[in-house]
Structure 1
Amino acid sequence: MNDTAVPQNLNAAVTGTPASALWQPVMLRSMATLLFGIVTVFFGAPDTLGLCLNFGWYFLVLAALHYWFVRRLALPRADARRLALLGAAGLLAVAGVVIFIAINTALAAWLGAAALAVMGGAELFAALHNPSGKAGKSPLRSDWLISGVLGLGTGLLLPFFAAAGPHALLGVAGGGALMTGALWLLSALTMRHDARKPKGK
């Protein structure tokens, strides 16, 4: 899903990091996201504890991997994209801890919805924001756009399924995770392939 036609030197100019340094955190993010999605598929009859434990570990791992990814981007400290993405990662971490401790279905639905929606919104902002004086667009733009829409959509849907119970909530979140994980897996493989290309090509 990457804009692979954009050369790596533009990637370095836009994000401060070549594809060779980005594919690893993206790959791990895709693996964690796909794992969560697969767990939701095979978790036959989850209760509130199962819901909160799964939301808890997923949000915490996702926050840590997203933080690592943003650090690898090496955006300037004052860059609005960096602030938005790190802020969303922070909210994911807080949501993971609170849901893990509280063990409450309604709280998991609403707090999980907020965390996923904010993350999706931050990715959409990162995709669409073009700081003045910087030509070109980030090669991650298309991935952020799709991932942002999926995250925002999942976050907006979750509260409507709060009354349906843990199984429905995990189903909605897991469906979004499977699509997002597949997207970032393709993105990581593309970046890894680009990073291995000879510089002259």
Structure 2
Amino acid sequence: MLFRSMITLLFGIITVFWGTPSTLGLCLNFAWYLLVLAASHYWFVRRLALPRDDVKRLVLLGAAGVLAVSGVVVFIAVSTVVAAWLGGVALALMGAAEIFAALHHRNKDSSVKSSLRSDWLISGVLGIGTGLLLPFFIAAGPHALLGVSGGGALMSGALWLLSALTVRHDSRTTKEK
């Protein structure tokens, strides 16, 4: 979680301080973000204690795969239209997968909820919102696209940073007791 938060915060900070990005700059920056986000998400989901055939695990890994493919295509295409639409679809699917993971229970009668439930819900809403907004800013250019995606990244990065620190703190206090 901490690695994911650092990636998203770094991407968000780059977008804030980049004054006049070109189309190439947009695509390169967005592509590395999607690829590294996909890799971190894949690594994170693999470390969760989910069975190999669990639907939640498959949906989350599928979304990571879509992020990775989108990153490669954005890198190759070097187009604001492709970056906005494909990046938007990838981020929205990632958000939908996180919302599904938050709301899906393995057993319908199980009252056990994941400790990541609220984080996945918030991150999912942020991802869907960012993904849906991106295509509307195509005409505004690369700076606007980076601004929208960077804003979503900063918000989700702050969320995942707080989540990672909370999990670390909670695990430490459990060991001390």
TM range (shorter): over 0.9
**Secondary structure of the equivalent of 2:138?**
helix
Match status 1:67 vs 2:42: yes
Deviates more, 1:182-191 or 1:130-139: 130-139
Letter in 1 for 2:56: R
Match status 1:82 vs 2:65: no
Residue in structure 1 matched with residue 151 of structure 2 by the alignment: 175
Residue in structure 1 matched with residue 121 of structure 2 by the alignment: 145
Match status 1:55 vs 2:50: no
Matches within 5 A, 1:37-48: 37-48=12-23
The CA deviation at 1:199 is 3.5
The CA deviation at 1:74 is 2.5
- Specify every segment of 5 or more residues in structure 2 that has no aligned partner in the other structure, as ranges: none
1:30-63 deviation line (CA, Å, top 9, x unaligned): 0000000000000100010000001110000000
1:121-166 deviation line (CA, Å, top 9, x unaligned): 0000000111225331001000000000000000000000011110
- Specify every segment of 5 or more residues in structure 1 that has no aligned partner in the other structure, as ranges: 1-25
Question: What is the number of residues matched between the two proteins?
Answer: 176
C-alpha root-mean-square deviation of aligned residues, in Å?
A: 1.0
Letter in 2 for 1:197: T
Residues in 1 aligned to 2:174 and 2:158: alpha-carbon distance in whole angstroms: 27
Residues in 2 aligned to 1:163 and 1:116: alpha-carbon distance in whole angstroms: 20
Q: Which runs of 4+ in 1 moved over 2 A?
A: 198-201
Residue in structure 2 matched with residue 18 of structure 1 by the alignment: none
1:105-127 deviation line (CA, Å, top 9, x unaligned): 10000000000000000000000
Which of 140, 157, 160 is 2:133 aligned to? Answer: 157
